[in-house]
Structure 1
Amino acid sequence: MHSTDNIKTTPGSGQGDPCRFLAEIACPHLQPVNLEECGTCQMLGGVSDPALLHTALKGCFRTIREQEQVIGREQETFAHDFSDISRMVDHLCKGDPAIRIASNSNITVVNRLAEMLNHLAASMQEMIDDSHEMAIGLCEHYDTLNRLASGDFKARASVDSPNELIAKLGMLINRESETMLSTIAELQKTDEELKTAYQQLQDIIEFLPDATFIIDSEKRIIAWNKALEEMTGFAKEAMTGKGDHEYSIPFYGVRRWALVDFIDDFNDGISEHYHLIEKKGDMLLAEKYIHNFRDDRGIHLWITASPLFDRNGNRIGAIESIRDITSFKLAEEQKASLELQLIQAQKMEAIGQLAGGIAHDFNNILTAIIGYGHLLQNKSREDQVAHRYVSQILVASEKASRLTRDLLTFSRKQVMNLTPINLNEAISSIGDMLSRLIGDDIELNIELQDEPISVLVDVGQIQQVVMNLVTNARDAMPEGGTISIATFTRQPELEPARQPPAISGRYAVISVSDNGLGMDQKTSEKIFEPFFTTKETGKGTGLGLSIVYGIVTQHNGFIEVQSSMGQGTTVRAHLPLVNNPSDKSKSEILACIPFDQGGTETILLAEDNTAAREVFKDILEGAGYKVLCAVDGNDAVEAFKLNADRIRMVVLDVVMPKKNGSQVLKELKAMRPGVKHLFLSGNIADIIHDKEELEADLHFLPKPVLPNALLSKVREILDETVLHPAVI
């Protein structure tokens, strides 16, 4: 055995520390894992003693066996630990992180692996715990979102979750729900405002007096107001939503373009549907007449169409308004008719003023001619030639007098002696005259109502109306034909374009019809104008129908004309009926009154026209009267003052210099109340002008005055006859 002092070696190299296998030289620093190096140990190789070598080998073997046992035990421990590790891995793979394994193994790597698996299990457990919390949080958040989506805007998400992500998600949901709630509140407010504005717009559309409808960009009806319902009879519910030009059906009965359809396509085709078309920017205006709108009546429409845009200028639809202007059109026609009547009245007034001025002077001249003519005629009865000459002068004078009366008649300034008569008798009495008037190539039919027709008229003027109408009918039939005269009574029906009758109630009608040439509407509107004629120059004065118009109008009547080209003409003159007519005419009554043509009384004659004054003086003096003459109003008053005790009557011209007739009479009545008087005038306007200043016992004769008429009237007044003709 070697002493430790003699052997200094290192394990595995024979160098360094002594080998521990030798009892004598233990090697305590040699690790068991290094035993495989003992065979190469220089120390072992240096042992020569077999016993010592044997001992060393036994020790080595023993060490090896021990090492094997240790390794076996370590393998068992490792197998056990690996089984635990494998079982834990299996649990972890199955998602069960609850298992744990001990980390107190003798094997370091096993302990490290156990620690790793335990850490992994803990991490998995933490993750699973977090996932569970997240799942619960997500379910809660989903429920909150679902409640919000269902309209429960008060729902809120939980924000106290231990999971940070879930907590932040809850805060986000709550923040967004608050924002959404605010947005919804704003939208609800805007929606209410839009609903209010829409309702206001609907109310405005409904309130519009014009029939109005609105279409959208697809030309579907979205508004149809009440005025349009009333106009067309089509309800809003039935029309809303309709398209394909159905908005035209209520007006035209078919689908066709309306005015709104021409907004984007303004072309010449629009004139086929509308007239009086006007375009102002995007707006269209037009007029339309529909002949058989509803109840087969005609209707005039004024239509306006305009596009509708949104705030960005995009076209979103169009609006069309329709106004019924039928009444306006009728009013325009009536206005035009009234304007024509006004022009007619102005013409007649102008001619009347001219006629009045002419009549005053001309009738004074005729008074002298007719007066002296009659005086001369009475003195020339034995001289037949002279008598015939004078008669022709008187005939011509009468024609001139009639012409003056005609001028005054159509200007409504002629005196009318109104008498209640039977209209049928007045027409029958001139039947023969009418037959001679029309000639042999024209047939005259007179059909008078069986019952008497009582009217208050100037019979001479009414007969003149009939003669003028018959003459006009005759001239309308140059190749012959038939003229029909009829009388009847009726209650006039007021037509929209005609003025109402001056007097309400029933009217007598004189109807004169012919089957001659007829007239167009333009001509028929002018036939009553003064001097209007369709005859050749020199063959008509144009006064015939003007005189008819003046006479009928002056009798508070009116005239209707019905005519068409080639179909003849019918003229109906309407005269107011009267009740309880007198059984006798005025002429018959006056004819029964006895009077003496002359007398011996003193008469004051005031006349500014020398010729008229002289003829009146000669007529009165020729009948035995004493005549005092005055040349003006002042002269008449002075003459009456000087001779008041012997003057029994005054004959006064209405128009005189210095003082007119009415002023003179007032002064004379102041001196002698009840003084008898007679007014003379060549113009009815003179007496009408002063009528308000005169009393009810007015006596009047129109110039020219026939001698017998003057003498009869003077005698009547002097004899205080109470029956006087009505004077207008």
Structure 2
Amino acid sequence: MNTPNFNRLFERSNTNTLVLIPDNFTIVACTDDYLKVTQRSREQLIGKPIFEAFPDFDNQSTVKDKRTALESFRYVVEHKQTDEMAIQRYSISKSGEQGGELEIRYWRTVNHPLLDSEGNLEYILHTVEDVTAAVSAEAALSESEFLQRLAGEVAKLGSWRIDLKTHSVFWSAEIYNIVGQPLDIELNLEIAMDCYHPDVREEVAAIVERAIENRKAFNILTRILRPDGEERWVRVIGEAELDDAGEPRALRGAFQDVSEFIHARDRADDVARQLHNALENMSDGFYLLNADWLVVFMNPQAEKLLTRSSEELVGKNVWEQFPEAVDSSFYRNYTRAVNEQVTVTFTEYFSPLQAWFQVSAYPGKDGLAVYFRDITEQRDLDDRLRQSQKLEAVGHLTGGVSHDFNNLLTVIMGNAELVSEQLDEQSRLKPLVDLIVKAAGRGAELTQRLLAFARRQPLEPQVINVAELIQSMHELLERTLTENMDIKVLCKPDLWLTEADPSQLEAALLNLVINARDAMPEGGNLLIEAENTHLDSDVIPNEDVIPGDYILISVSDTGTGMARDILEKAVEPFYTTKAKGKGSGLGLSMVHGFIKQSGGHINIYSELNLGTLVKLYLPRTNNHEELEKKELTDISRSRGQEHILVVEDDELVLQSVLSQLERLGYRVSSATSGESAYKWLQANGPVDLLFTDVVMPGELNGPELAKKAKTLQPNLKVLFTSGYSENAITHAGRLDKGVQLLSKPYHRQALAEKIRFALDK
């Protein structure tokens, strides 16, 4: 079994590192990040001494009395100890394609030894960190100010001093930051010594004492323990400060946090283990394939995402273990990555795991490294966002045209009905006129369904008993089905009440029954059920469910069912699988929009050749107001003699309405704007009813006119009409309490009944 190529993994590690031979400082290995930051290729560096690869590398120290690069390397060779250099300034030659010019870079550098098992120096690990950006940001400062602050902040370096007579202690600001002490602490020698780890305090105290006695500098690598419990590695450099008589009067030096360098050294000493642990614990799935497509390594996340253990897959051919992937993007992209030696990134749905994966595959000479993650949930969120944006677009489009379109339909429908009433039943023109009325009605239904899908239709919610509503529709639903279909209604007793627009709920149920009928061309069974239920937030996929009590209405059939791809589009407007002319594709979209606008939820289950189940959830209401039951009345009983002021900005609609109201016996006056209507009321006194359009040009729309008119006539009765009113008289899609609305276009019967109802209410 092949093992992971850890040399390549080291080259990809997130460090800027060179590996040097101690004898002549020849480069034998480097990371990809080092090549990137130096703008070199591996061929330009491997096998060359570092000072040949970088001719200006030596003698470039930016800080006085600090070792140059060559001196640092020699120090590591001689003492077999790590040496941290000061910020280094280097001139880097750009490639020929970039003009071959020199570029000045600033690096923070550490050189440390790599010893073999016998303690001999085998390699020097040369690690740099590019701090050019930090240096450039301080270009406006003087060189001394820049170096002093950068040494402290970038190199985590501070200065200290102990007065041997007063035992007072001075720290620079960076030391407070390193040891985790506040700047306002009353610093003394005891606090300074307590910063060291308990295991090394005695050793540090002894070194300080010897430095004072022998008057020699010291340089130690030791540990501190911060108040928050964190251990850090620090380098402490100190020397005695002598008075004029040559006696020590103080101890002073530098204090540097070198934890990062210590950790870097440890990582370099055991890079394979570190990389292995990183792969084991990463959030992405990861596995390695060799040249024969055998799995040679996989991390725990890969086991979780693939639902297979390492014991099952390592050493096995990936295509034999996942045969469904052979004829998919997985195989095509993996082979392309290997054959063309290019990185590939793609997204693919893997049906055996029912999940979407985002995959990145990196080729190497020994095989393929694959990183992947499950993005199913993210795709679901994206789909919901697109659906919301589509809903908004349809709403804007529908709202933009429905007002004017419904005005036209109002004129066509009203006048056609007037003509129809005056024609004899035997007239050859009567069927044609009735056809015009029917066509106008279908146009009205089209805009209504679009508004319902976009959740912008004005609802008139009432407290309703779902069982009673379904039972009242039973005869109509039976007539909707064919003779070879059976319908059964089961409503559980003691159903809770809900608050919804009863006419829209009836339309929604009728749409579902029609869909079920069309899905059972050979006949079948239709079942309508109603029951109480409780929903949790995660019960419906891709729905933001508000937990609580709901009334569940289920409509199921034994029809042809829907495939997964069709089911995903079922509620989209104008999407239909029916033959041309057999359906508008707005039925389910209208049901979906109405249920959502009513605060409910919809869930659709379907299997090919088994049938479809649609579940409608309407929220329970604690409002026990009785449902107003309206009975259809003959148009002759909806007449009157009251005075009505009609306000309508569309001249065609105005003339049509006036004509219809006059034929119903009413006295009518008219105005074409809110302003002119208000002036008419001021000049001519009270009327019995204000019948006004909602959306009108000018400063006064319908609701504003009604408000001002009631200052003149407080008991004035108002009936609004509109083809699309947006939020003028609705909140969250529901009519404001007490508001009466007649939606355009309307039949003459509906106009007569609504006018009579508004006058009598």
TM-score, with normalisation over the residues of structure 1?
Answer: 0.55
Aligned to 1:164: none
1:541 aligns with 2:588: no
1:363 aligns with 2:410: yes
Aligned to 2:691: 651
> Is the partner of 2:488 in helix, strand or coil?
strand
1:563-585 per-position Cα deviation (integer Å, ceiling 9, x unaligned): 23222222222322223433x32
Unaligned 5+ residue runs, structure 2? 1-76, 82-112, 126-264, 320-324
Q: 2:494 pairs with 425, 436, 451, which one?
A: 451
**Aligned residue pairs: how many?**
489
Change in CA separation of 1:361 and 1:580 when aligned onto 2, cut-off 3 Å: same
Q: Distance in 2 between matches of 1:408 and 1:500?
A: 24
Aligned to 1:640: 681
Query: Contact between 2:570 and 2:588, CA under 8 Å: does it hold in 1?
Result: yes
Q: Shift of residue 556 of structure 1? A: 2.8
Q: Shift of residue 505 of structure 1? A: 2.0
Instruction: Specify the code of the residue in structure 1 equivalent to 2:333.
Output: L
Q: Shift of residue 478 of structure 1? A: 1.7
1:463 aligns with 2:506: yes
Aligned to 2:461: 418
1:586 aligns with 2:633: no
Aligned to 1:442: 485
Q: Distance in 1 between matches of 2:732 and 2:490?
A: 41
Query: Contact between 1:364 and 1:703, CA under 8 Å: does it hold in 2?
Result: no
Change in CA separation of 1:205 and 1:466 when aligned onto 2, cut-off 3 Å: same
Q: How does 1:656-695 map onto structure 2 within 5 Å?
A: 656-658=696-698, 659-669=700-710, 675-685=716-726, 687-688=728-729
Aligned to 1:631: 672
Change in CA separation of 1:361 and 1:270 when aligned onto 2, cut-off 3 Å: closer
Aligned to 1:505: 548
Q: Distance in 2 between matches of 1:299 and 1:438?
A: 41
Query: Contact between 1:289 and 1:301, CA under 8 Å: does it hold in 2?
Result: no
Q: Shift of residue 660 of structure 1? A: 3.3
Change in CA separation of 1:655 and 1:642 when aligned onto 2, cut-off 3 Å: same
Q: How does 1:118-157 map onto structure 2 within 5 Å?
A: none
Q: Distance in 2 between matches of 1:576 and 1:691?
A: 15
Query: Contact between 1:677 and 1:717, CA under 8 Å: does it hold in 2?
Result: yes
> Is the partner of 1:279 in helix, strand or coil?
helix
Q: Shift of residue 546 of structure 1? A: 3.0
Q: Shift of residue 495 of structure 1? A: 5.9
Query: Contact between 1:562 and 1:570, CA under 8 Å: does it hold in 2?
Result: yes
Instruction: Specify the code of the residue in structure 2 equivalent to 1:461.
Output: Q
Q: Shift of residue 404 of structure 1? A: 0.6
> Is the partner of 1:562 in helix, strand or coil?
strand
Query: Contact between 2:540 and 2:603, CA under 8 Å: does it hold in 1?
Result: no
Instruction: Specify the code of the residue in structure 2 equivalent to 1:197.
Output: A
Q: Shift of residue 458 of structure 1? A: 1.7
> Is the partner of 1:499 in helix, strand or coil?
coil
**Structure with the greater alpha carbon radius of gyration:** 1
1:407 aligns with 2:447: yes
Instruction: Specify the code of the residue in structure 2 equivalent to 1:664.
Output: L
Q: How does 1:253-402 map onto structure 2 within 5 Å?
A: 253=313, 255-257=315-317, 274=331, 276-277=333-334, 278-279=336-337, 300=357, 302=359, 304=361, 307=364, 320=369, 322-323=371-372, 325-326=373-374, 328-336=375-383, 338-340=385-387, 342-343=389-390, 346-347=393-394, 349-351=396-398, 353-370=400-417, 372=418, 376=421, 397=437, 400-401=440-441
Change in CA separation of 1:200 and 1:515 when aligned onto 2, cut-off 3 Å: same
Query: Contact between 2:495 and 2:531, CA under 8 Å: does it hold in 1?
Result: no
> Is the partner of 1:456 in helix, strand or coil?
strand
Q: How does 1:93-172 map onto structure 2 within 5 Å?
A: none
Q: Distance in 1 between matches of 2:396 and 2:516?
A: 27
> Is the partner of 2:333 in helix, strand or coil?
strand
Q: Shift of residue 347 of structure 1? A: 4.2
Change in CA separation of 1:503 and 1:249 when aligned onto 2, cut-off 3 Å: closer
> Is the partner of 1:509 in helix, strand or coil?
strand
Query: Contact between 1:597 and 1:715, CA under 8 Å: does it hold in 2?
Result: yes
Query: Contact between 1:420 and 1:455, CA under 8 Å: does it hold in 2?
Result: yes
Query: Contact between 1:487 and 1:511, CA under 8 Å: does it hold in 2?
Result: yes
Aligned to 2:277: 206
Deviates more, 1:206-215 or 1:459-468: 206-215
Query: Contact between 2:601 and 2:618, CA under 8 Å: does it hold in 1?
Result: yes
Q: Distance in 2 between matches of 1:608 and 1:298?
A: 56
Q: Distance in 2 between matches of 1:538 and 1:212?
A: 53
> Is the partner of 1:416 in helix, strand or coil?
coil
Give the fraction of aligned pairs with identical amino acids, expressed as a percent: 25
> Is the partner of 1:471 in helix, strand or coil?
helix
Aligned to 1:42: none
Change in CA separation of 1:579 and 1:192 when aligned onto 2, cut-off 3 Å: farther
Unaligned 5+ residue runs, structure 1? 1-180, 234-247, 260-267, 308-314, 722-728
Query: Contact between 1:282 and 1:306, CA under 8 Å: does it hold in 2?
Result: yes
Instruction: Specify the code of the residue in structure 1 equivalent to 2:576.
Output: T
Q: 1:427 pairs with 467, 470, 483, which one?
A: 470
- Please provide the CA RMSD for this pair: 4.9
Instruction: Specify the code of the residue in structure 1 equivalent to 2:512.
Output: L
Q: Which has more strand, going by share of residues?
A: 2
TM-score, with normalisation over the residues of structure 2?
Answer: 0.53
Q: Shift of residue 206 of structure 1? A: 3.4
Q: Distance in 2 between matches of 1:223 and 1:478?
A: 55
Change in CA separation of 1:405 and 1:251 when aligned onto 2, cut-off 3 Å: farther
Query: Contact between 1:662 and 1:690, CA under 8 Å: does it hold in 2?
Result: no
Change in CA separation of 1:647 and 1:269 when aligned onto 2, cut-off 3 Å: closer
Q: 1:554 pairs with 586, 594, 597, which one?
A: 597
Instruction: Specify the code of the residue in structure 2 equivalent to 1:346.
Output: A
Change in CA separation of 1:276 and 1:678 when aligned onto 2, cut-off 3 Å: same
Q: Distance in 1 between matches of 2:678 and 2:412?
A: 25
> Is the partner of 1:698 in helix, strand or coil?
coil
Q: 2:310 pairs with 250, 266, 273, which one?
A: 250
Query: Contact between 1:605 and 1:627, CA under 8 Å: does it hold in 2?
Result: yes
Instruction: Specify the code of the residue in structure 1 equivalent to 2:598.
Output: H
Q: Shift of residue 500 of structure 1? A: 2.2
Q: Shift of residue 433 of structure 1? A: 1.8
> Is the partner of 2:412 in helix, strand or coil?
helix
Q: Distance in 1 between matches of 2:378 and 2:519?
A: 33
Instruction: Specify the code of the residue in structure 1 equivalent to 2:511.
Output: N
> Is the partner of 1:586 in helix, strand or coil?
coil
Change in CA separation of 1:373 and 1:198 when aligned onto 2, cut-off 3 Å: farther
Q: Shift of residue 220 of structure 1? A: 14
Change in CA separation of 1:649 and 1:197 when aligned onto 2, cut-off 3 Å: same
Query: Contact between 1:512 and 1:570, CA under 8 Å: does it hold in 2?
Result: yes
Change in CA separation of 1:402 and 1:556 when aligned onto 2, cut-off 3 Å: farther
Q: Distance in 2 between matches of 1:668 and 1:490?
A: 47
1:366-403 per-position Cα deviation (integer Å, ceiling 9, x unaligned): 23444x369x58xx9xx8868x9989967973673364
Q: Distance in 1 between matches of 2:564 and 2:295?
A: 44
Aligned to 1:699: 740
1:141-170 per-position Cα deviation (integer Å, ceiling 9, x unaligned): xxxxxxxxxxxxxxxxxxxxxxxxxxxxxx
Q: Distance in 1 between matches of 2:426 and 2:502?
A: 35
Q: Distance in 2 between matches of 1:350 and 1:632?
A: 25
> Is the partner of 1:578 in helix, strand or coil?
coil
